[in-house]
Amino acid sequence: MSRRAPLRVVGQPVPRVDAVEKVTGRARYVTDLVLPGMAHAKILRSPYAHARVRRVDTARAGARPGVIAALSGADLTWCDPYFGPAFRDRPVLAIDVARYEGEPVAAVAAVDELTAAEALDLIDVDYEPLPAVSTLEEALAPGAPLVHTGEPLAGHFADLATLRPQPGTNVCHRFQWARGEAAAALAGADLVLEDTFRFPPVQHYAMEPHAALAAWDETGALTVWAGTQNPYSVRVELAKMFGVPLGRIRIVVPHLGGGFGSKTYAKLEPLTAALARATGRPVRLAASAAEAFQTVRRCSARVSVRVGLRRDGTLVGVTCDADYDVGAYADIGPRVVQKGTYTATGPYRVPHVALDARAVYTNTTPGGAFRGFGVPQLAWALESLLDVAADRLGRDPVDLRRQNLLAHGEEFAPGDTPIDGKLEESLGHAAQAIGWTQTGAADRGRGVAAMLKASVAPSVSEAIVRLHADGSVAVLASAVEMGQGTRTVLAQIAAEVLAVPVARVTAVPPDTAITPYDQTTSSSRSTTMTGRAVQMAAEDVREQLFRVAAEHLGVPARELALADGAVVAAAGRLAYPEVLAIRFGMSGGELIGRGVVAPGRTAAPLGGSTPFWEMAAGAAEVSVDEETGAVRVERYVSVADVGRAVNPLLLEGQDEGGVVQGLGHTLLEEMVYEEGHLLNGTLLAYRVPRADDVPRALECRFVENADGSGPFGAKGAGEGSLIPVSPAVANALARLTGVRLRDLPLTPERVWRALRARGSR
């Protein structure tokens, strides 16, 4: 009997397993949790972008009735007060120097939030303002004030262990990579184009701001309930800081109200744990929406690209010089820089490449991971310049891209994974859907863009699947559900392998004391990497079922299959409870399967082969009000190469969300600093897309060739749809008006000024 059967659950729009608890309000987030005796924490933040902290007096605050503890950086002598995944350069509370406006300087834990907030006014801080650098130009200028004067300690990621800042400068990391002879190739090219593009600092704007609840027990073990995308990374940070074995630190992740990279790696957890130790009771620290702007943001960038082509349109060489503003502390910025810059040539075949990128400290909110992980900044530049090249060569922009796209199975870089998708198919679908070759309205322009992103590597995911005595299934994995539908997808994968209804599968929320190791819920890797681990664990259980049933039925295991919660053969059928009763001799016990995905380090340029390539194309149709400069995206088509859509409904929601988020930094969003002061760090002043900003026609399509390395041929998705938005919209605007903008966002004022300048020329 063949074990192969048509997919029953995978590929279907299965309703979310967490839908009911969320729409009924039963879902619990960190700020819903209350422990006996719990204290509430508030943070006093620096009003200066750069200042020497000469004295912090918390005595009056500590003496206020209801206050349990008031801490400054000087009080943290009993632990290692620094943390960070790339460099351990970020203090829990400012020590000697505050390096950005909003940096935590002191903290109070009290019986309630109001008391804690009032106690902050009783803290006396003596600041000596210092010169600040709030832009890349200021930070890189000769003799610029230094954000950090010493060399920070290395963080805990192996692929970042060799990072070294450039002494005497604000450069905390430099990444260089080359292939071929780029300078010679450009010198011999028939057309060479060069331009500089800027990408703004933007905030993740998750619906749930950062929050953590920490409690130490009498044995010295620490439990933290955290809104984090990386429970195991947070555990490593806390173990290092407090000198506690990993096994005595437990990170529990309840529901997460959005992340987009803002909740990767430690944020509030170190301070919350320190306050819990100081008070001797549980402490909850919840940031406000305004405080989220002072916690993390996307790295802004200045990108200069040179592109060389032959007369026939063949790309021969690309050089890219990029500066990323990582803010006051490195966070994961160095990895963003090298991972993003590595794919600066996008989805194209370029024989000669020279890439040079710097991570630059400034006195602004630390920059970290954000959906796209450094690629949107570079795709904005390259995809814009390719349209300019098409115009100069008299070529159709779609055809020029098609000519240079990497083919399925083609090498991107020596030692790395070959391209595992069909880029031309994605671009073709996008162009066709937008009506690229058709005549459109005279007052609208069309533009396209494509992208290629490498997932994080090396990367590790583990999963456990438990088949219980009643035939129900539990999936134990540490991928975080933050609105994207991970719990549903993992349940679908296990249900597919074990031939049970999704309703009989429970995906256990991440808890480092229960669920096994998973590197991160980011880089679009959960379905591919964690999902593959779940598939392997479920297959392990399946093989155990076959062994027991084969012996009992007296048939070879190869003649068995699973169907409707039972092992079936030509000679008979055994329901799972019967198989377990045979195995254990009683109505008890369970079969446990384990799956591990750990490709390890390779000869690839970044130390590990790309687990999968994320690929997408976008096409936009725009209109513009020339009197005001307001740009309207009338229609947008997103096409993602996903290998296989495990749940098309969830995937469509992810892609639609990515497109709208991309429209934010394309048209609206920018954190505006003036002399180190953030002018628009509130929900009122910072403009994100509203319902009326969404294109009237928004279409998301998927290319499915089951050619991914994930379960059933799946590949990661969700980030790719965001990346082409900016260049596709700007290319459409340029084709409509003849105006080429190089700075995002494309605000009405910027567009209006460009239109006026065009008229004067």
pLDDT score of 233 more than 60: yes
Q: Share the mean pLDDT of the chain.
A: 96
* Secondary structure class of 129 (helix, strand, coil): strand
Please report the domains of the chain, with CATH numbers, ordered by start residue: 19-25+459-597 (3.30.365.10), 33-132+204-292 (3.90.1170.50), 297-457+604-760 (3.30.365.10)
How confident is the model over 393-414, as pLDDT tens digits?
A: 999 999 999 999 999 999 999 9
pLDDT number for residue 4: 56
* Percent with pLDDT over 70 in the chain: 98
| Torsion, CA 26, CA 30, CA 33, CA 36, rounded to 10 | 170
Confidence (pTM): 0.96
Once rounded to an integer, what is the mean pLDDT over residues 123-132?
Answer: 98
How confident is the model over 256-313, as pLDDT tens digits?
A: 999 999 999 999 999 999 999 999 999 999 999 999 999 999 999 999 999 999 999 9
Distance of alpha carbon 127 from alpha carbon 129, whole angstroms: 6
How confident is the model over 574-631, as pLDDT tens digits?
A: 999 999 999 999 989 999 999 999 988 888 888 889 999 999 999 999 999 999 999 9
How confident is the model over 315-335, as pLDDT tens digits?
A: 999 999 999 999 999 999 999
How confident is the model over 147-171, as pLDDT tens digits?
A: 999 877 777 665 566 677 889 999 9
Once rounded to an integer, what is the mean pLDDT over residues 122-137?
Answer: 98
How confident is the model over 677-724, as pLDDT tens digits?
A: 999 999 999 999 999 999 999 999 999 999 999 999 999 999 999 999
pLDDT number for residue 374: 97
Once rounded to an integer, what is the mean pLDDT over residues 60-73?
Answer: 98
- ∠ CA 285-290-295, rounded to 5°: 65
On the question of a cis peptide bond just before residue 13, with omega within 30 degrees of 0, the verdict is no
How confident is the model over 528-548, as pLDDT tens digits?
A: 999 999 999 999 999 999 999
Once rounded to an integer, what is the mean pLDDT over residues 412-417?
Answer: 94
On the question of a cis peptide bond just before residue 745, with omega within 30 degrees of 0, the verdict is yes
Q: Are 94 and 125 in contact (CB under 8 A)?
A: no
Long-range CB pairs of 555-559 (<8 Å, 24+ gap) are: 558/3, 559/1
Phi, psi of 131 (to 5 degrees): -60, 140
pLDDT score of 109 more than 60: yes
How confident is the model over 30-54, as pLDDT tens digits?
A: 999 999 999 999 999 999 999 999 9
Distance of alpha carbon 719 from alpha carbon 527, whole angstroms: 13
Describe the strand order of the beta sheet including 315-327 as a list of residue ranges. Answer: 171-179, 352-361, 315-327, 300-309, 191-199
pLDDT score of 18 more than 60: yes
Whose CA is closest to 497, among 569, 409, 595? 595
Once rounded to an integer, what is the mean pLDDT over residues 739-751?
Answer: 98
Give the start-end residues of each E strand in 362-415.
367-368
pLDDT score of 1 more than 60: no
- 373 Cα distance to chain centroid: 6
How confident is the model over 484-512, as pLDDT tens digits?
A: 999 999 999 999 999 999 999 999 999 99
